Amino acid sequence: MSASSVDETFHPLFAGNPLAMWIYDLETLAFLEVNDAAVTRYGYSREEFLQMRLTDIRPPEDAQRLLEDVRSRRPDLQLSGQWRHRLRDGRLIDVEITSHTLNFRGRAAALVVVHDVTDRKQAEAALRRSEARKAAILKSALDCIITIDHEGRVVDFNPAAERTFGYPFSEVVGRPLADLIIPPDLRQAHTRGLARYCETGEHVVLNRRIELRAVRSDGSEFPVELAITPIHEDGKPMFTGYLRDISDRKRAEEELRRLNAELEERVRQRTSQLEAAAAELEAFSYSVSHDLRAPLRAIDGFSLVLFEDHSQALNDEARTLLDRIRAASQRMAQLIDDLLDLSRLTRAEMVWRPVDIAALARAVATDLTKTDPNRNVTFRIADGMVASGDERLLRAALENLMSNSWKFTSRMAEPTIEVGRLNGSGVDVFFVRDNGAGFDMAYSHKLFGVFQRLHSVREFPGTGIGLTTVRRIVHRHGGRVWAEAAVDHGATFYFTLRPDSANE
């Protein structure tokens, strides 16, 4: 082919072709002509191209292969495979070369058409990596992963499935899944569901977790959890199932049910025992109330008769002893009454409702004032104190706390009793404060014990049960109680109720 014929016939097609093209000398490998697409893609100007050889755009490691390819060139159109080309900025691209030998202006040459396949190669590499990751996941997954085609035949069966069901992949591939791992009584439903989805797209079990039975190669059945995802390829669906042996979980659930039943039985038995104990305590309380009070009344009564009717016959020592007998019997009677009250408060069923703590405190203050109208005690009671609880029990707690303050301020010139509330930290703290005798904080741990007293009966009367009663009431309301004091500088008793009870 002459140069003029090339110029006239091929130049328009050559110059305007969207694919990179060039003509090079087969002997020197020098570029003889390049088109605009080559200039644009490779980054070299036309003048730069015409000063270069074919080896200038090839990586050094491809030089030997290039020379062999040129020497084997045949005088016809041929595909010389895939190569790597270097762009002007140094980047490498993947290309496929189609070439044809020709005579260009009197020189043996080759016309080259370049197909840039870099994107395709990258996509293929990404696909290979994806397939490798998929294979690794299938291989290492702890759950069984099984894929079947639209006819229900096994396509994939990962190692976890092999271990779980006892089949090697080579034995199951291409076989109907129903014949392998589905119990006989479920196979018909599986076949119908598969056919219905393929015909209508309707499904019941796809894309959700279900529990059912599966069967191993040895015929043994076991419970599984299954999720199935449809995959559409070439218009025909495939199905991938993710399956997990839940035998251990089912055994654990059964064991938990057994333990719960056992616990419920123990609770029932314990409740029965507590009810029996409560009945015995009730009987004991009745006995204390009737059997012990009667002798105490007799002791007090006969002592009074002796004192009133026969005092002339008694000397001073005898009269003193009678006074002590009467005081002891009366104190014993009060102690019994307090113990019975404590027992009733502990057993009584609670009735929860909003309680106006301020109103209760004012009522208790009124009752205390009536017991000794001659005392001039200042009461300071904050407004708006409301909590949820048992009104009767909360009144009993306030009666005990405020009675303590009333008692221990009896020797003060200007006695003051304050009932209020501290806000903050999310929990309301109620308090009863006085400016009375106070106590040594070193003994505060004894305050709330039964029969524990920090002052003698001669100083201040009492049985040592009142604060125990307060503690039990507060505990029944889900709170706590504590005190702060100093000798001769008064005391403050704090208590909380259930955190969500305040201001209900």
The pLDDT of residue 165:
94
CA distance 350 to 436: 33
Q: Where are the beta strands (DSSP E) in 285-385?
A: 353-356, 378-381
In three-state secondary structure terms, 418 is strand
Domain boundaries, the chain: 3-118, 141-245, 250-328, 350-496
Burial track 27-42 (b if 16+ CB lie within 10 A, e otherwise): eebbbbbbbebbbebb
DSSP type of residue 88: T
Token digits for 440? 């040594």
CB-neighbour burial class of residue 283 (10 A; exposed 0-12, middle 13-18, buried 19+): exposed
The pLDDT of residue 73:
63
CA distance 255 to 246: 14
The pLDDT of residue 284:
65
* 42: nearest Cα among 80, 97, 89: 89
The pLDDT of residue 504:
39
Q: Taking the domain 3-118, which CATH number applies?
A: 3.30.450.20
In three-state secondary structure terms, 53 is strand
DSSP 380-415: EE-S--EEEE-HHHHHHHHHHHHHHHHHHTTT-SS-
| Beta bridge partner(s), residue 21 | 113
In three-state secondary structure terms, 231 is strand
The pLDDT of residue 1:
45
* 463: nearest Cα among 342, 286, 289, 291: 342
* 49: nearest Cα among 114, 143, 145, 102: 114
CA distance 434 to 491: 6
The model carries a pTM of 0.43
Answer left, alpha or beta for residue 490, where phi above 0 means left and psi between -120 and 50 means alpha. Answer: left
The pLDDT of residue 453:
53
CA distance 62 to 381: 99
Domain 141-245 has CATH 3.30.450.20: yes
| Beta bridge partner(s), residue 95 | 83, 116
CA distance 14 to 20: 9
* 467: nearest Cα among 410, 399, 389: 399
In three-state secondary structure terms, 451 is coil
The end-to-end CA distance of the chain, in Å, is 105
Indicate the helix (H) or strand (E) that contains 89.
none
CA distance 163 to 138: 13
The pLDDT of residue 386:
92
Would 141-245 and 350-496 be classified into the same CATH topology? no
- How many CA within 13 A on the CB side of residue 225? 9
How many residues are recorded in the chain? 504
Residues 358-414: pLDDT tens digits?
A: 999 999 999 999 989 889 999 999 999 999 998 988 998 998 899 889 888 988 889
Token digits for 112? 């080259």
Cβ partners under 8 Å of residue 501, min gap 6: 387, 388, 389, 477, 478
CB-neighbour burial class of residue 444 (10 A; exposed 0-12, middle 13-18, buried 19+): middle
| Residues 350-496, CATH architecture | 2-Layer Sandwich (3.30)
CA distance 282 to 72: 115
Residues 220-277: pLDDT tens digits?
A: 999 999 998 888 877 788 899 999 999 999 999 999 999 999 999 999 998 888 777 7
Token digits for 400? 């005990």
| Residue spans of the chain under pLDDT 70 | 1-10, 71-80, 278-294, 334-335, 337-348, 424-425, 444-445, 449-464, 499-504
